[in-house]
Amino acid sequence: MITNLASRGKDGELMLSPKGSKDSNALLRQALLSLQTPEEVDRFLQDALTMQEVQSIAQRVEVAWLLRKGMTYQEISRETGASTATITRVNRSLRYGAEGYTLVLQRIENENEHLTESTDAECGDARKTHD
Q: What is the largest CA-CA distance in the chain?
A: 67
Both 85 and 40 in a single domain?
no
Both 66 and 96 in a single domain?
yes
Both 24 and 57 in a single domain?
no
37-51 confidence digits (pLDDT tens)? 999 999 999 999 999
Domain hosting 27: range is: 1-48
In the predicted structure, residue 17 carries a pLDDT above the cut 90 = no
Percentage of residues of the chain with pLDDT beyond 70: 73
Both 33 and 68 in a single domain?
no
- Looking at per-residue pLDDT, the higher value among 87 and 23 belongs to 87
Both 20 and 74 in a single domain?
no
User: What average pLDDT does range 119-127 have in this prediction?
Assistant: 65
Both 113 and 74 in a single domain?
yes
Q: Report the relative pairing of strands 14-18 and 4-8 from DSSP bridges.
A: antiparallel
Q: How far, in Å, CA of 21 to CA of 5, rounded?
A: 9
